[in-house]
């Protein structure tokens, strides 16, 4: 006679009703790259031009590091911050579009190996700069039936490796890094209250790496083509972001029975200071209610929000019971938001 699965058997009595962030961490490459260094490379730009248009003063560039190196480092810090043993992690979800290897294995599996864990599920999720938002909702949904108790969610990207360093419109924007959170059970009423995810796939061509995939693999003939790097219609992406960013937040707030006035703190994707400022004004928030670190890191894609969340938590800016709103947008074109009621054991 077959033995019953103890997890399924116990699930009705062990469902985690409220799931929140119980630990955060971040990791950056060693190399700091300031705006003036683009000028030294011969790029037609300046520190003033970059700061005025984007808000970026510097970024971290992965020279020797891969996505998994940064992800593992951020994960270890998040686990330490959560005050749990790494053996308690029972699932790993990694949001990235710049994995170590082009097809497989996933960064999630490399992280599992790097942490010395075995057997637990580990996988990657691809939603570009919205990846961490998507991953938070996916992980939380997996936890709600009680099968998974503590899930490691990581956002990591090394998109500087996919930039044409002669293309001023793209290379100045991106930096590399990783951010991680441990999700676990929190007091009832706290944690992730609502998410709103979406995509406008019809506009996929606005932000794309044209060659190097199955549609047009790399060959000896096209290996030097600039089309192997990120191509972006900057105006179209900017318009997409400002048109969707507030709308998606309002829909998620409605799901959570909240209003814009209930927002305590806003952690947006760090893509452009003008987009962040636009959202701040539309949401009626003060500058003190918005976390901005684009000047230091640039656009770290899927890592952006997770890095900012760790910094904000480390600085004590996120208080127990605060309503935290995150929002992201990126290639796909994808977009999404998470609404959290922050839980802290330091009340």
Q: Which residues are catalytic?
A: 129, 269, 299
CA gap 143, 246 in Å, rounded: 28
The torsion angles phi and psi of 186, rounded to 5 degrees, stand at -130, 175
CA gap 256, 250 in Å, rounded: 10
CA gap 163, 107 in Å, rounded: 20
Instruction: Report the run of H or E that residue 76 belongs to, with start and end.
Output: helix 67-82
Closest CA to 190 of 320, 14, 69, 23: 320
- Sequence-distant (6+) residues with CB within 8 A of 55 are 272, 273, 274, 276, 292, 294, 295
Closest CA to 334 of 128, 96, 159, 136: 128
Q: Which stretches within 198-290 are classed as H helix?
A: 234-255, 273-283
CA gap 41, 269 in Å, rounded: 28
Burial group, residue 164, by CB count within 10 angstroms (0-12, 13-18, 19+): middle
Q: Is the peptide bond before 270 cis (omega within 30 degrees of 0)?
A: no
3-class SS string, 95-133: ECCCCCCCCCCCHHHHHHHHCCCCCCCEEEECCHHHHHH
- Bridge-partner residues for 210, per DSSP? none
Q: Could you give the count of Cα atoms lying within 13 Å of 20 in the half-sphere of its Cβ?
A: 21
The torsion angles phi and psi of 119, rounded to 5 degrees, stand at 75, -30
């Amino acid at each position: 006679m077959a033995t019953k699965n103890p997890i399924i058997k116990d699930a009705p009595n062990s469902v985690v009703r409220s799931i929140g962030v119980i630990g955060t961490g971040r990791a950056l490459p060693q190399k700091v790259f300031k705006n003036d260094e683009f000028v030294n490379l011969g790029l037609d730009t300046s520190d003033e031009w970059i700061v005025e248009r984007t808000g970026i003063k510097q970024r971290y560039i992965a020279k020797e590091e891969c996505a998994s190196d940064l992800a593992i480092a951020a994960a270890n810090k998040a686990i330490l911050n959560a005050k749990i043993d790494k053996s308690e992690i029972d699932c790993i979800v990694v949001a990235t579009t710049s994995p170590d290897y082009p097809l497989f294995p996933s960064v999630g599996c490399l992280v599992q190996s790097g942490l010395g864990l075995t057997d637990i599920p580990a996988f990657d999720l691809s939603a570009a700069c919205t990846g961490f938002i998507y991953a938070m909702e996916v992980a939380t949904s997996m936890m709600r039936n009680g099968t998974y108790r503590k899930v490691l969610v990581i956002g990591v990207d090394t998109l500087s490796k996919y930039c044409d360093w002669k293309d001023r419109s793209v290379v100045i924007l991106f930096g590399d890094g990783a951010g991680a959170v441990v999700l676990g059970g929190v007091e009832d009423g706290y944690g992730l209250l609502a998410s709103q995810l979406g995509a406008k796939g019809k506009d996929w061509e606005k932000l794309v790496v044209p060659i190097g995939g199955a549609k047009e693999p790399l060959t000896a003939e096209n290996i030097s083509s600039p089309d192997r790097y990120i191509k972006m219609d900057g105006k179209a992406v900017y318009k997409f972001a400002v048109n969707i960013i507030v709308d998606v937040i309002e829909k998620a707030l409605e799901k959570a029975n909240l209003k814009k006035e209930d927002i305590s703190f806003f952690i947006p994707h760090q893509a452009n200071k003008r987009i962040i400022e636009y959202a701040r004004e539309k949401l009626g928030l003060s500058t003190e209610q918005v976390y901005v670190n684009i000047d230091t890191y640039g656009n770290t894609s899927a890592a952006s929000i997770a890095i900012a969340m760790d910094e904000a938590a480390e600085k004590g800016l996120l208080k127990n019971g605060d309503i935290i709103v995150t929002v992201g947008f990126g290639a796909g074109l994808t977009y999404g938001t998470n609404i959290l009621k922050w839980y802290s054991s330091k009340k």
